[in-house]
Amino acid sequence: MAQKPWLVFGLDGRTADDVQAAVQLGYRRFDAAESYGASTDALAEAIGSSPQHRDDFEVLYKFDVRADENREQLRTRLTEVAGKFGGKLDAAVIHNLDGDQAQIRKAWNVMHSMKRQGTIGKAGVGNVLPQHADLLRELKSKDSIDVVELSPHNSREGSQQGSPRGNDRPLGDASSDRSSPLLGVVENSVRGVLADPQLRDLMADLSDRTTLYYYNVVRTLDEIQKHYDRTGNGERLTMKSPEGMTAVAQQTGYRVQGEAHMILTSGNPETMKRNLKTYETDAANMDYPPAEFADAVSKWSAYHEVCRTNDPTPLPDGVQGKLLPLFDNPEAKRGQVVAFAAETAGGKVDRESVSAWLMKEHKFTREELEGVTVPDRVGLLPAYQNMKLADVLAGHLGSQNCNHKWANDLAYPLLHDVDMWKIVAPTLTNIAQPDTVRTPSPLSMADAASLASGNASPARRASNGSPGATGLPPAQPTRAPSPTPGR
């Protein structure tokens, strides 16, 4: 079996041509998901047509648990996906843990049954939050958790010295299932791994057989850059560089005892080639970057600069009316963006093509897209503070699935007043640090969660202007948001 390059290619938002190019360039580790659309089929086709042996590739596949699906239906679904990759998934991950807990337990049993049969190499869970700790302990008592994808902004802190390494063991070996670690593969936003202490105790259970897969490196480098520019000693340091990326990779590797792999995704062949060459080997084995890069990462990760103020300034005239339909029916709008990009931008859905579509079809001005920013809200994470409207909408309407959640959540500070933020912010863990926001009594967390998900889009809630209109019990004597939502 050939040695696999260290870097992982992420399929989120990638086209079939991008995936084919990645395989041809030499990528061998891939991060796939049911929610990433046709890219999984594109990967199967690219691997199938490659002269390389199937065992030279590593495919991690994430899937969603369905409320109306029984065990056999799930087994059939995963078996069909595995069949596209020679009958085996190297790792299968339950993408989210916020669904029906009974269904998650059933899925866990199915996965480990398939693991013992050899259809799945490693089994795991995704988007872990602190409130999932009890569920993880229960699942651990039933069988090993080999793969875990943590929710963005959650992490374990640590400072192990030296190069992290993992120990290989036979896949599908039932005798080793019971003794494997709580967390075997973790997939998470690198920001969470480095900067959020909430999962410290949970992550402390990681063993040297745990592999970390992390993403959002470039966005995190932007955040580190902002912190450095505010607190640095006047010297210019460019974090979005090979030195900055290596510093992040090495700092991340020290926080787990096992292997750590960086997920990067790009549709630019030259960027893909450069990334693979730069990070062909484990970052822990690379030359250390200049000390100031590691120092900038360390200082940023130790400084939790969540927002501490609320900005009541309303949106400029007309902007709210333009935003509402974008959040009310996003899937339809994304389809229109894709069609527009195919005609005008060579099919490339990026910040510029999204902005061009917004100006043409929804009459935004460039000044609005570049000048309007996310307003300050208590608890808002630094990555989203003062984010430009163009960046929010590029995430919301773009092709990368992982951006849709945080961008959709940013509709709350953009479209709603501070009172609504106080109600829903504790549930918006993609963009806010919950323990800095207090839900007004007597509104329960369950009611806040009901308001923040499922019943209506943020845009509809902005139009309704009332929590009761979205399914909260009308008898709750809560402080209602302003009838006219705004910043």
pTM summary value: 0.77
Instruction: Give residue for tokens 């993408």.
Output: 95
pLDDT by residue, tens only, the chain of 487 residues: 456 789 999 999 899 999 999 999 999 999 999 999 899 999 999 999 999 999 999 999 999 999 999 999 999 999 999 999 999 999 998 888 888 888 999 998 899 899 889 999 888 877 777 677 788 777 766 666 665 565 554 443 333 333 333 333 333 333 333 334 444 566 777 887 788 776 656 665 656 766 778 888 988 998 899 889 888 666 789 999 999 999 999 888 887 777 888 999 888 889 999 999 888 888 777 788 889 999 999 999 887 678 999 999 989 989 999 999 999 889 999 999 999 999 998 888 889 999 999 999 999 999 999 999 999 999 998 889 999 999 999 999 998 888 898 999 999 999 999 999 999 998 888 898 866 654 443 334 344 444 444 444 565 555 554 433 333 223 222 333 333 333 3
The one-character DSSP state at 149 is E
Break the chain into its structural domains and give their ranges.
Answer: 8-302, 319-470
C-alpha closest to that of 243 among 195, 203, 204, 286: 286
C-alpha closest to that of 258 among 193, 189, 198: 193
d(CA 394, CA 388): 10
Q: Contact, 410 vs 374, CB < 8 A?
A: yes
d(CA 11, CA 21): 12
Number of H helices and E strands in the chain, helices first, is: 22, 9
Instruction: Give residue for tokens 């808002």.
Output: 380
Burial class (CB in 10 A: 0-12, 13-18, 19+), 290: exposed
Q: How far is CA 41 from CA 4, 60, 300, 334, 365, in A?
A: 21, 13, 39, 21, 38
C-alpha distance across the termini of the chain, in Å: 57
Q: 86 in the Ramachandran plot: left (φ > 0), alpha (ψ -120 to 50) or beta?
A: left
Task: Tell me the fold of 8-302.
Answer: TIM Barrel (3.20.20)
d(CA 143, CA 62): 19
The one-character DSSP state at 373 is B
Q: Contact, 200 vs 175, CB < 8 A?
A: no
Instruction: Give residue for tokens 């990009």.
Output: 341
